[in-house]
Amino acid sequence: MRPSPPVETTAPSGDHDPIRPLAGQLAGLLADATRALRDAGVASPRADAEQLAAHVLGVGRARLVLVDSLPEPAAERFAVLVRRRAAREPLQHLTGVAGFRYLDLAVGPGVFVPRPETESVAGWAIDALRGQAAALSVGGPVCVDLCAGSGAIALSLATEVPGARVHAVEADEGALRWLRRNVAALGKGAVEVHAADVTADPPPSLARLAGAVDLVVSNPPYLPDADREAVEPEVGVHDPALALWGGADGLDVVRAVVALAARLLRPGGLLAVEHADGHGTAAPALLRADGRWVETADHTDLAGRDRFVTGRLARPLDREDG
């Protein structure tokens, strides 16, 4: 939806109104910032301008309605951040925080910024675990998050599923620093971090879980190589390449995730893997062709786009029903 035009903030001529200049100062800065961000191609210019203003003031965005003006140091910092955002530096890098479900995650250069569409993947996993509590491991479900990045899914499982014991697996050193930071701050002792590449043999710390895991979930790199010139600067320039690209068809790492999940899960265990919106047919077909999965299904995100595939590791007597 096209943003509304900025509100005119110039004070009228005539008698001096001591309130209007104060009331107009923040409004004027926001209007100017919105124009600059819109001209730079930022998708949500007004929202980003307001979040940057709230950040420099140290308040929630909703409290901006109570603010008349920015002190000079804050106004200068705001201007710097707006210029950086106009250069297409991610908003979350500027504020240092990415919201995900009920969490505020620390993020910055070197780690993939979690997207709202991944919340649907985490939500499915959480609901699935809650719905079959009686069938899970004694003491609480054992979960593995492959390609964990900032820890968004792993920490959501740990904080929203009672008794969950979560293993977060990440290969990239830059991402691991952010993952360990978030786990230390938010993990409540329920998340163990593993430095491991899902495309290689798992280390002993992860291999010991073979056949004992209730849920494997993953948001792996899944963009096809052909998209390298088409992605927004916030993605192509600032997200780590290891978190983005999945080979010619985008499914190279998805295949590795599916293979590793089959080793880790107990019979009847659950798998959920995010994929590109063009993989709504290919990803379920991949699970079916593997032959070890039943109840395979694809799911859409809140925008109605194909977003993730799920399946259950077959028990000995299971038969794929289509």
The string of pLDDT tens digits covering residues 287-315 is 999 999 999 999 999 899 999 999 999 98
The per-residue DSSP string of 105-121 comes to EE--TTSPPPPTTHHHH
Structure tokens belonging to residue 287: 């699970």
Tell me the longest C-alpha to C-alpha distance in the chain: 85
Which distant-in-sequence residues (6+ apart) come within 8 Å of 63 by Cβ?
54
Closest CA to 154 of 136, 135, 167, 141: 167
pLDDT at 135: 66
Helix/strand/coil for 176:
helix
Beta-bridge partner residues of 270: 215, 312
Residue 261 has pLDDT above 70, yes or no: yes
Fold of the CATH domain 98-313: Rossmann fold (3.40.50)
**Residues above pLDDT 90, as percent of the chain:** 81
CATH of domain 20-87: 1.10.8
Model confidence band, residue 159 (pLDDT cutoffs 50, 70, 90): very high
Residue 12 has pLDDT above 60, yes or no: no
Contact 231, 223 (CB under 8 A): yes
Query: How far is it, in rounded angstroms, from Cα 46 to Cα 29?
Result: 11
pLDDT at 204: 92
Considering the chain, what is the average pLDDT of its residues? Answer: 90
The pLDDT of 137-141, averaged and rounded, is 81
Q: Is 212 left (phi over 0), alpha (psi -120 to 50) or beta?
A: alpha
Q: Is 15 left (phi over 0), alpha (psi -120 to 50) or beta?
A: beta
Contact 224, 250 (CB under 8 A): yes
Query: How far is it, in rounded angstroms, from Cα 196 to Cα 203?
Result: 7
Residue 4 has pLDDT above 70, yes or no: no
pLDDT at 13: 38
Query: How far is it, in rounded angstroms, from Cα 297 to Cα 299?
Result: 7
The pLDDT of 133-150, averaged and rounded, is 86
Closest CA to 310 of 37, 160, 147, 123: 123
- CA 159 from chain center: how many Å? 16
Query: How far is it, in rounded angstroms, from Cα 242 to Cα 155?
Result: 21
pLDDT at 249: 96
The pLDDT of 249-277, averaged and rounded, is 97
pLDDT tens readout for residues 21-80: 333 489 999 999 999 999 999 999 999 999 999 999 999 999 998 988 888 889 999 999
Closest CA to 91 of 70, 64, 69, 61: 61
pLDDT at 319: 54
Beta-bridge partner residues of 97: 106
The pLDDT of 265-273, averaged and rounded, is 97
Beta-bridge partner residues of 245: 223
pLDDT at 318: 73
Residue 14 has pLDDT above 90, yes or no: no
Residue 10 has pLDDT above 60, yes or no: no
Structural domain spans, the chain: 20-87, 98-313
